[in-house]
């Protein structure tokens, strides 16, 4: 229980309107409990914060952190409250809701934008496109905070051209767990945050790796992110929610769908796209997406998806659909050139070009992937990997095999191997393997799904020698750590301990989180054989 | 047992020497920075040997300085005494993985060596501006020498690496981090992590203070079969800046470089044509694609002409370099290291050169040039003799701004003037908020870190975590 | 309390529980997001910032009450009623989760009243006033039609009855006059709704369901007795109450109610399109349009659903989804664009993404400061369009925005769309 004196101390920092200990107010920041679980670990860990604060500035955040340190109180930062780690996992915690920090400025000439934690990707992309620039919008949705997502993840099909998130961090104002502020990148030289590299060793190496710290290494209150050249022709928004989308300026942006003779050919096709240095994005389209797009409600989807299961399984196994986006960044002629190259590659591989609508509702600015969550009411999450495209394909098959053992409560997807895409202009690939789950939260369901994500999933990735994507944040570090680096967790722990010896920044912290979950649940603990 | 004997136990007799004659070639700096003399040189051939040596250094609390090729043109400051760890014999280049467009090279592999291998498959690694042929690819990229290709998509060339922490423990990054690697599904195509740290970033530009990198997987790219290159002349840098922003916003060209007349004449090895050169030039190469290469060049050329017409109509797209023939020579010139058999271009004007470089917004480059030229003028150095090289990076969202202060090492007055210019230029550019991402040498390092005490404070803390015995080149940076 | 089979909070447990916090309920549809400014569509969140002041937060509070895990405190009441019931959350939720968060909040209010909790004082006062005088202002019931001009041309065999509403009957009488001006210009046979009483919207939004049913029944009985089956309104709130809330509280489909309700903008747009109405008088003005929640995203026909949920929450029988996508969005815009001399500028948050004027859901009565804060937010957005006037199709929106203009010393003019159209048709809109 936090004392009245400490409450008063905190109230003086943010003002009475921006602090609350009211049970109803605090309850809204519980990720587990009554909230639908898109990440199951929250069910086991999330607790109600003792106090919720709405700081409005870096100075206020810093003062709160210092008060927390002084009184040894734990604290959890949250911007748009999407990942389970945005919710406290222990009693008597402060929750810092950062949504009031809405700083935004764009430097179009030098292609960057500086944002506060309250700015989301929908806003950033709209501003970027208003200035002839663009960035990617993550699959987690346009609503996710730019800072939070850039710190812990940062993927979309558009990362084929806009690069991995680590490269997009150009500057950061970072409140360390002890309350001290460090400026990253050119901010450290007194300049604007236009350049991310350090003075000598690059402290972005501490800020994030393949995953982020999820608030357990302090709070970034401002970040400058890189933007990229786009084109000047407008995407026109049309429709009424939920059926809204952008009309593409077709002489500057186009979709191309191809049906390929088989998956191997499709993968070769994708590699060739990278080798020819064309395209804005490309991805395999799971056949289930087509059924989702056709169904006007989830009932219809489930009805048609479960009809004739053998036939569906065959369809999933045999259908290879590739979706490619071309953008004429330079000119309309660029699009014409790239289309010619694309068609030549398609012809070389015997792939058939299919008609598709020249609209977008889920990649460019609006990335909430309408209808994708309808199926099970957001009771879904993903597994996946980061390496080459070939590795993505093989890991997809392994995940599909594993998933069958957990179906139900996972939704039967007829052994679909997930969707994969090229990243980084074809230099690496990305697999995202979707797992829809039964929304009824019986204890058995929760445990089985946790087993899938926290134990069985990490094990098959380790066994294959692949690298899990953000699931490394929901894998037990005691299992993952010795297998990667090796011992990445021990090095990270040294850093954490040096800056947060009391462990106040969002405990149990990303390095101990899933081990804590496993230790708390007897069924999972019994499976701990490492 | 002496340090030398311990080292001999690891690498054998032939790999260890404490002779100054053997050590000197590896520490010769081409800069004004005074050279210090390590106590013993040890040449390694394998990662295993590297690990053992670092562990030994920790046991004996002995400083370690790294040398990958002996090219220290930025100014090396080896530790006095201690170990000089010579990686130049780590020459392995694995069979390029052309499907994933990468090649694995060890620390001692040079630009000339890797270029020769990749050229067979019409591939290349995006290179910096005219490096020495014998300079290490790994060091160059790890030390963030900017590549000439200004397109963002081709950057971040390291895809994964192997390293030893300063305590001597082996570590691999990204998707090469599985303990099963290379017998793993992942082939090391993803660079970051594993986990919440990014050791690669800590190694970058650390000058060997944060660990030892033994190999990297590096991105390879298409080496175009045909290209079209232009020289775009400008009288005023301000006009060039506006043009360059416009060109990069349209994602035109791959190699794109800005030189002043001094540097253009120097790299063309024809000092006599300096006066006929435009004061400022953009050199840009429009590359052919893998398929329909002429058509790719055609649309880019058309767009470049449109940008010119709307943004810098008073300049022309020249296909002739004034006094030096066709621009056809540029792709080859820009995509290769400086030939080993020739005097390095920076040594041609006066025998030695001190570089001064930092990162800045492109729009501020005229102010920086003005400041450095004034610093030269007021310190008895002819500003016209200073070479300037400006490298747009990531579509000119930032630029590497480099000044080449040429001097005659044998001429004490000239050397003294160059030293004064160098120091004054750092001071003046810091006032303009130059972002020195690579503080080489003790003089610069002190000035830069004094100017960024918050960043330096955190670096010191990080250094103490990973290098508790302070063996990796202590004193080189702010720690 | 009457025994009821519908509008129980328990019926919407799924919708409260299914929220994963995706925030579709608070942000403008990202396709229509225009930049860093104005990202939110939830007035309550904009004003109070804590997550509990959103659909996602209120749903969790509702679950706590259902699960008997907490007390209904004064703070709970504030959280529940500091909401405009504007439906912005509901529209947003359809994109991702397809839940009915608005119904969670409406039935939560009903639950609160059923469980003996009072609505906020200001709102209670209004509902008491309606009970006493059949209008929200406490004005004499027999003066309700005093606004009527002497030369009004009623039809003996009316095609439709004009349901004026409390606001235009007693306060903004110019709207009522303009409305009959439009009806007459279109040669529509009309008459006034006989013995009109408050539609009961404030009663329904207070959560007093029994009283709301009683109020509805009075008006429905009157309609039946008149023999007419079509009602025209100029008030968006009355329109939505007749179209959506009456069937909702009666547990029927809108198309089973035995009457047709039409808003004057629907009628006028149709008549302009078929050439019956010809706006010919210039209205030299630059305007923007403020979508009234009641006319726009809240006005989908009501479709009751009772059933069970199976695997993955699939409904049995299959639910017909209402997704805020059939409201009156295009007609007001078509009207404004048809007026000579008038320049129309679209506002940033519009149609289903519009920001409520701030008055809805009983907020103007219960929390007038909050209502004015929201109106000011909206006025800033209106100012960004460069328009000299804002037009709405709801007298309460016009009122709330006008008050904020007056209090803030702002220069933007506020009009009801009937006034603008009547001016364009007759030159006598009284602008």
Chain A residue numbers with beta carbons less than 8 Å from the beta carbon of B188 are 387
Helices (H), B184-256: 199-203, 237-249
Quick check: B195 contacting A, CB < 8 Å?
yes
Quick check: A52 contacting B, CB < 8 Å?
no
Of C63, C70, C312, the CB nearest to A439: C312
Quick check: C81 contacting A, CB < 8 Å?
no
**CA separation for the pair C164, C134 (Å, rounded):** 13
The CA distances from residue A476 to A157, A449, A461, C18, in Å, are 28, 15, 13, 28
Whether residues B183 and A465 touch (CB distance < 8 A) is answered with: yes
- Best CA proximity match to A75, nearest among A91, A59, A99: A91
Cβ pair A457, A402 in contact under 8 A: yes
Quick check: B454 contacting A, CB < 8 Å?
yes
Whether residues A240 and C352 touch (CB distance < 8 A) is answered with: yes
Per-residue tokens: A172: 């950061």
Q: Confidence band (pLDDT; 50, 70, 90) for A50?
A: very high
Q: What is the pLDDT of residue C368?
A: 98
Q: From the CB coordinates, do chains B and C have 3 or more pairs under 8 Å? A: no
Q: What is the pLDDT of residue C216?
A: 98
φ, ψ of residue C9 to 5 degrees: the values are -60, -35
DSSP state for residue C242 in the 8-state scheme: I
Chain A residue numbers with beta carbons less than 8 Å from the beta carbon of B248 are 229
> Which of B170, B180, B186, B474 is most worth mutating to test chain A (most A CB atoms within 10 A of its CB)?
B186
Whether residues A201 and B462 touch (CB distance < 8 A) is answered with: yes
CATH assignment of the domain containing C160:
3.40.50
Whether residues A374 and C98 touch (CB distance < 8 A) is answered with: yes
The H helix count followed by the E strand count for chain B is 14, 18
Q: Confidence band (pLDDT; 50, 70, 90) for B334?
A: very high
Nearest-5° angle of CA C223, CA C229, CA C231?
80
Quick check: C94 contacting A, CB < 8 Å?
yes
ipTM of the shown complex: 0.96
Interface of A with B in 381-440 (CB under 8 A): 385-391, 394-395, 424-429
Quick check: A202 contacting B, CB < 8 Å?
yes
The CA distances from residue A61 to A78, A160, A476, B99, in Å, are 12, 35, 30, 48
Strand order in the sheet with A75-78: A19-20, A51-53, A94-97, A75-78
Cβ pair B299, A330 in contact under 8 A: yes
Of C94, C314, C323, the CB nearest to A302: C314
Nearest-5° angle of CA A245, CA A246, CA A249?
155
pLDDT in tens, A106-159: 999 999 999 999 999 999 999 999 999 999 999 888 999 999 999 999 999 999
Residue C176 half-sphere exposure toward CB, CA atoms < 13 A:
23
Strands C230-233, C260-263: pairing is parallel
Per-residue tokens: A56: 């409005």
Quick check: A158 contacting B, CB < 8 Å?
no
Whether residues C27 and A378 touch (CB distance < 8 A) is answered with: no
Phi-psi region of A71 (alpha: psi -120 to 50; beta: other; left: phi over 0): alpha
Q: From the CB coordinates, do chains A and C have 3 or more pairs under 8 Å? A: yes
Chain A residue numbers with beta carbons less than 8 Å from the beta carbon of C70 are 23-24, 27
Residue given tokens 């078929």 in the structure block:
C274
Q: Which residue of A has its CA nearest to B178?
A: A484
For chain B, give every domain's residue range: 3-86, 102-222, 227-334, 345-438
Mean pLDDT of chain B: 95
Is the CATH number of domain A236-441 3.40.462.10? Answer: yes
- Give me the mean pLDDT over the A71-93 stretch: 93
What fold does the segment set B3-86 form as a domain? 3.30.43
The helix (run of H) or strand (run of E) holding residue B53 is helix B47-60
What fold does the segment set B227-334 form as a domain? Alpha-Beta Plaits (3.30.70)
Count of CB pairs separated by less than 8 Å, A with B = 346
Torsion of CA C298, C302, C307, C309, to 10 degrees: -30
Quick check: B100 contacting A, CB < 8 Å?
yes
Interface of A with B in 232-251 (CB under 8 A): none
Neighbours of B396 (CB within 10 A): 26
Domains of chain C: total: 1
**CA separation for the pair C378, C371 (Å, rounded):** 11
Given a cut of 60, is residue B232 above it in pLDDT? yes
Q: What is the pLDDT of residue C21?
A: 87
User: What residues are paired with A360 via a beta bridge?
Assistant: A246
Q: Confidence band (pLDDT; 50, 70, 90) for B27?
A: confident
The CA distances from residue A406 to A411, A433, C359, C395, in Å, are 9, 14, 50, 57
pLDDT in tens, A179-204: 999 999 999 999 999 999 999 999 99
Contacts of A244 (CB under 8 A, 6+ apart): A237, A238, A361, A366, A370, C29, C31, C32, C95
Q: Confidence band (pLDDT; 50, 70, 90) for A439?
A: confident
Given a cut of 90, is residue B79 above it in pLDDT? no
Given a cut of 70, is residue C116 above it in pLDDT? yes
Which chains border C (3 or more CB–CB pairs < 8 Å)?
A
CATH class of A104-229: alpha beta
How far from the centroid of its chain's Cα atoms is residue B295's Cα? 33
**CA separation for the pair A365, A135 (Å, rounded):** 9
CATH architecture of B345-438: 3-Layer(aba) Sandwich (3.40)
Could you tell me if residue C400 is inside a domain?
A: no
- Best CA proximity match to A227, nearest among A361, A80, A121: A121
Neighbours of A192 (CB within 10 A): 20
**CA separation for the pair B292, B298 (Å, rounded):** 10
pLDDT in tens, C313-361: 999 999 999 999 999 999 999 999 999 999 999 999 999 999 999 999 9
Neighbours of A529 (CB within 10 A): 7
Could you tell me if residue C410 is inside a domain?
A: no
Q: Confidence band (pLDDT; 50, 70, 90) for B69?
A: confident
Q: Confidence band (pLDDT; 50, 70, 90) for A379?
A: confident
Q: What is the pLDDT of residue A513?
A: 93
**CA separation for the pair A32, A46 (Å, rounded):** 5
**CA separation for the pair C398, C414 (Å, rounded):** 6
- Best CA proximity match to A209, nearest among B6, C236, B175, B52: B175
**CA separation for the pair A350, A342 (Å, rounded):** 12
**CA separation for the pair B246, B240 (Å, rounded):** 10
**CA separation for the pair A202, A337 (Å, rounded):** 39
Of C18, C63, C75, the CB nearest to A377: C18
Three-class HEC string of B261-325 = HHHHHHHCCCHHHHHHCCCEEEEEEEECCCCCHHHHHHHHHHHHHHHHHHHCCCCCCECEECCCE
Q: Which residue of B has its CA nearest to A498?
A: B465
How far separated are the first and last CA of chain C, in Å rounded? 48
Residue given tokens 């767009």 in the structure block:
B303
DSSP state for residue C40 in the 8-state scheme: B
Could you tell me if residue C222 is inside a domain?
A: yes
Given a cut of 80, is residue B74 above it in pLDDT? no
Quick check: B183 contacting A, CB < 8 Å?
yes
Given a cut of 80, is residue A397 above it in pLDDT? yes
Chain B residue numbers with beta carbons less than 8 Å from the beta carbon of A112 are 397
Three-state SS at A431: strand
Which chains border A (3 or more CB–CB pairs < 8 Å)?
B, C
pLDDT in tens, C385-424: 999 999 999 999 999 999 999 999 889 999 999 999 999 9
- Best CA proximity match to B253, nearest among B225, B282, B277, B233: B282
**CA separation for the pair C56, C26 (Å, rounded):** 9
CATH class of A4-97: alpha beta
Nearest-5° angle of CA B289, CA B295, CA B300?
80
Quick check: C31 contacting A, CB < 8 Å?
yes
Residue given tokens 């953000």 in the structure block:
A470
Cβ pair A78, A88 in contact under 8 A: no
**CA separation for the pair A28, B361 (Å, rounded):** 44
Its domain, for residue C166, covers: 132-273
Whether residues C50 and A368 touch (CB distance < 8 A) is answered with: no
Of C23, C52, C313, the CB nearest to A143: C23
Q: Which residue of C has its CA nearest to A113?
A: C36
Q: What is the pLDDT of residue A380?
A: 82
Chain A residue numbers with beta carbons less than 8 Å from the beta carbon of B178 are 462, 465-467, 483-484
Contacts of B269 (CB under 8 A, 6+ apart): B342, B345, B348
Whether residues C33 and A122 touch (CB distance < 8 A) is answered with: yes
Chain B residue numbers with beta carbons less than 8 Å from the beta carbon of A466 are 175, 178, 184-186
CATH architecture of B102-222: 2-Layer Sandwich (3.30)
Closest CA of chain C from A412, distance in Å: 11
**CA separation for the pair C350, C290 (Å, rounded):** 7
- Best CA proximity match to A449, nearest among A462, A468, A459, A436: A436
Whether residues C35 and A123 touch (CB distance < 8 A) is answered with: yes
- Give me the mean pLDDT over the A35-39 stretch: 67
Of A337, A391, A488, the CB nearest to B185: A391
Interface of B with A in 120-149 (CB under 8 A): 144
Given a cut of 90, is residue B20 above it in pLDDT? no
Contacts of B230 (CB under 8 A, 6+ apart): B282, B283, B284, B286, B304, B317, B318, B319, B327
Quick check: C271 contacting A, CB < 8 Å?
no
Given a cut of 60, is residue B89 above it in pLDDT? yes
For chain A, give every domain's residue range: 4-97, 104-229, 236-441, 470-525
Given a cut of 70, is residue B466 above it in pLDDT? yes
Closest CA of chain A from C125, distance in Å: 26
Chain A residue numbers with beta carbons less than 8 Å from the beta carbon of B249 are 132, 229
- Give me the mean pLDDT over the B193-214 stretch: 96
């Amino acid at each position: 229980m936090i004392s009245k004196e400490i409450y008063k101390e905190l109230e003086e920092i943010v003002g009475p309107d921006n602090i609350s200990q009211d049970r109803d107010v605090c309850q809204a920041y519980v990720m587990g409990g009554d909230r639908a679980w898109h990440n199951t670990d929250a069910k086991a860990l999330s607790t109600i914060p003792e106090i919720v604060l709405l700081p409005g500035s870096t100075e206020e955040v810093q003062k709160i952190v210092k008060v927390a340190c002084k009184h040894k109180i734990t604290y959890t930062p949250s911007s748009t409250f999407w990942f389970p780690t945005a919710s406290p996992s222990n009693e008597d915690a402060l929750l810092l809701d950062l949504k009031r920090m809405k700083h935004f400025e764009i430097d179009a000439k030098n292609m960057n934008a500086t944002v506060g934690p309250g700015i989301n990707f929908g806003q950033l992309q709209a501003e970027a496109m208003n200035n002839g620039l663009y960035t990617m919008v993550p699959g987690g949705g346009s609503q996710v905070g730019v800072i939070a997502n850039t710190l812990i993840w940062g993927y979309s099909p558009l990362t084929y051209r806009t690069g991995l998130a680590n490269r997009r961090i150009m500057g950061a104002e970072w409140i360390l767990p002890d309350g001290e502020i460090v400026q990253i990148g050119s901010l450290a030289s007194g300049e604007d945050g236009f350049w991310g590299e350090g003075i000598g060793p690059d402290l972005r190496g501490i800020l994030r790796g393949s995953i982020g710290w999820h608030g357990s290494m302090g709070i970034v209150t401002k970040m400058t992110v890189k933007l990229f050249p786009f084109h000047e022709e407008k995407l026109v928004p049309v429709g009424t929610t939920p059926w809204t989308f952008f009309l593409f300026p077709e002489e500057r942006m186009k979709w191309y769908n191809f049906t390929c003779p088989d998956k191997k050919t499709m993968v070769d096709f994708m590699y060739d796209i990278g080798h020819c240095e064309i395209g804005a994005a490309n991805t395999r389209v799971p056949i289930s997406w087509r059924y989702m797009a056709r169904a006007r409600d989830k009932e219809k989807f489930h009805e048609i998806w479960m009809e004739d299961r053998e036939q569906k399984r065959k369809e999933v196994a045999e259908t290879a659909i590739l979706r490619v986006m071309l953008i004429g960044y330079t000119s309309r002629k660029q699009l014409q050139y790239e289309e010619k190259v694309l068609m030549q590659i398609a012809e070389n591989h015997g792939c058939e070009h299919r008609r598709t609508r020249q609209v977008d509702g889920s990649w460019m600015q609006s990335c909430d992937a309408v209808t994708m969550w309808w199926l099970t009411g957001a009771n879904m999450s993903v597994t996946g990997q980061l390496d080459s495209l070939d590795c993505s394909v093989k890991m997809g098959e392994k995940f599909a095999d594993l998933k069958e053992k957990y179906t139900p409560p996972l939704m039967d997807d007829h052994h679909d191997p997930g969707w994969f895409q090229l990243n980084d202009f074809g230099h690496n690939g990305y697999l995202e393997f979707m797992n829809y789950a039964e929304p009824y939260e019986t204890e058995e369901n929760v445990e089985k799904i946790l087993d899938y994500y926290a134990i069985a999933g990490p094990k098959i990735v380790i066994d294959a020698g692949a690298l899990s994507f953000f699931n490394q944040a929901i894998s037990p570090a005691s299992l993952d750590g010795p297998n990667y680096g090796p011992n990445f967790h021990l090095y990270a722990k040294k850093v954490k301990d040096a800056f947060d010896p009391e462990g106040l920044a969002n405990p149990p912290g990303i390095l101990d989180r899933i081990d804590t979950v496993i230790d708390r649940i007897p069924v999972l603990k019994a499976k701990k054989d490492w | 047992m002496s340090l030398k004997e311990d080292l001999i136990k690891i690498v054998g007799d032939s790999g260890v020497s404490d002779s100054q004659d053997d050590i000197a070639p590896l520490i010769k700096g081409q800069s004004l920075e005074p050279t210090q003399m390590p106590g013993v040189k040890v040449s390694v051939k394998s990662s295993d040997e590297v690990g053992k040596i670092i562990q030994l250094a920790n046991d004996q609390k002995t400083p370690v300085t790294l040398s990958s090729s002996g090219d220290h043109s930025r100014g090396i400051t080896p530790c006095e005494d201690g170990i000089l760890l010579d990686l130049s014999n780590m020459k392995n280049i694995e069979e390029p993985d052309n499907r994933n467009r990468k090649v694995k090279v060890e620390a001692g592999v040079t630009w000339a060596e890797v270029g020769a291998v990749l050229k067979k498959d019409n591939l290349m690694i995006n290179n910096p501006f005219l490096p020495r042929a014998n300079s290490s690819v790994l060091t160059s990229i790890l030390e963030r020498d900017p590549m000439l290709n200004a397109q963002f998509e081709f950057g971040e060339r390291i895809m994964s690496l192997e390293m030893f922490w300063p305590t001597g423990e082996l570590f691999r990054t990204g998707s090469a981090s599985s303990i099963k690697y290379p017998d793993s599904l992942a082939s090391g195509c993803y660079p970051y992590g594993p986990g919440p740290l990014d050791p690669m970033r800590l190694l970058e530009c650390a000058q060997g203070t944060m660990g030892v990198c033994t190999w990297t997987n590096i991105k390879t790219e298409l080496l175009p079969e045909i290209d079209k290159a232009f020289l775009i002349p400008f009288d005023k840098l301000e006009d060039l800046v506006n043009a360059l922003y416009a060109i990069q916003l349209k994602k035109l060209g791959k190699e794109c470089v800005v030189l002043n007349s001094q540097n253009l004449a120097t790299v063309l090895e024809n000092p006599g044509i300096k006066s006929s050169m435009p004061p400022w030039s953009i050199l840009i190469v429009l590359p052919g694609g893998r398929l329909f290469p002429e058509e790719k060049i055609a649309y880019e050329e058309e767009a470049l002409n449109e940008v010119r017409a709307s943004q810098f109509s008073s300049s022309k797209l020249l296909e002739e370099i004034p006094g030096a023939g066709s621009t056809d020579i540029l792709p080859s010139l820009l995509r290769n290291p400086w030939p080993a058999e020739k005097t390095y271009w920076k040594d041609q004007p006066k025998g030695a050169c001190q570089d001064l470089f930092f990162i800045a917004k492109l729009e501020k480059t005229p102010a920086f040039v003005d400041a450095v030229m004034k610093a030269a003028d007021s310190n008895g150095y002819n500003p016209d003799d200073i070479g300037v090289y400006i490298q747009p990076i990531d579509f000119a969202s930032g630029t590497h701004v480099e000044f080449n202060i040429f001097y005659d090492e044998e001429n004490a007055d000239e050397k003294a003037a160059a030293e004064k210019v160098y120091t004054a230029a750092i001071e003046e550019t810091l006032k303009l908020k130059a972002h020195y991402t690579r503080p080489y040498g003790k003089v610069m390092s002190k000035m830069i870190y004094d100017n960024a005490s918050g960043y330096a404070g955190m670096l010191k803390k990080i250094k103490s975590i990973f290098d508790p015995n302070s063996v990796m080149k202590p004193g080189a940076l702010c720690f | 309390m009457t025994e009821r089979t519908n509008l129980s909070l328990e019926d919407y447990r799924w919708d409260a529980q299914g929220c994963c916090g995706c925030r579709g309920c608070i942000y403008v549809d990202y396709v229509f997001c225009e930049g860093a400014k104005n990202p939110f569509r939830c007035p309550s969140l904009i004003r109070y910032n804590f997550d509990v002041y959103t659909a996602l937060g209120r749903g969790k509070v509702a679950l706590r009450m259902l699960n008997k895990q907490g007390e209904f405190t004064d703070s709970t009441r504030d959280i529940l009623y500091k909401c405009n019931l504007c439906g912005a959350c509901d529209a947003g939720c359809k994109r991702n989760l397809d839940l009915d968060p608005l119904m969670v909040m409406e039935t939560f209010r009903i639950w609160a009243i059923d469980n003996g909790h009072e609505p906020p004082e200001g709102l209670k006062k209004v509902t008491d006033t309606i009970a006493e005088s059949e209008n929200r202002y406490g004005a004499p019931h027999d003066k309700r039609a005093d606004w009527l001009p002497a030369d009004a041309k009623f039809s003996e065999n009316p095609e439709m009855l004009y349901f004026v509403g409390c606001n235009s009957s007693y306060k903004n009488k110019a709207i009522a006059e303009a409305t009959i001006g439009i009806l007459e210009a279109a040669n529509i046979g009309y008459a006034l709704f006989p013995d009109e009483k408050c539609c009961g919207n404030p009663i329904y939004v207070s959560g007093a369901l029994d009283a709301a049913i009683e109020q509805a029944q009075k008006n429905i009985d009157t309609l039946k007795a008149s023999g007419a089956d079509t009602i025209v309104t100029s008030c968006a709130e009355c329109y939505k109450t007749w179209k959506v809330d009456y069937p909702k509280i009666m547990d029927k489909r809108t198309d089973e109610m035995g009457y047709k309700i039409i808003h004057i903008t629907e009628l006028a747009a149709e008549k302009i399109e078929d050439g019956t109405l010809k706006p010919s008088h210039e209205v030299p003005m630059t305007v923007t349009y403020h979508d009234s929640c009641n006319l726009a995203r809240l006005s989908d026909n009501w479709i009751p659903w009772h059933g069970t949920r199976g695997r993955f929450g699939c409904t049995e029988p299959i639910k017909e989804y209402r997704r805020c996508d059939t409201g009156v969005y295009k007609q007001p815009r078509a009207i404004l664009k048809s007026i000579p001399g008038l320049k129309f500028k679209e506002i940033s948050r519009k149609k289903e993404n519009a920001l409520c004027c701030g008055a809805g859901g009983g907020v103007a009565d219960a929390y007038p400061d909050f209502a004015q804060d929201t109106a000011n937010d909206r006025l800033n957005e209106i100012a960004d369009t460069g328009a000299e006037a804002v037009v709405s199709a709801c007298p309460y929106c016009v009122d709330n925005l006008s008050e904020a203009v007056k209090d803030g010393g702002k220069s933007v003019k506020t009009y009801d769309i009937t006034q603008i159209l009547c001016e364009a048709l007759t030159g006598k809109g009284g602008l």
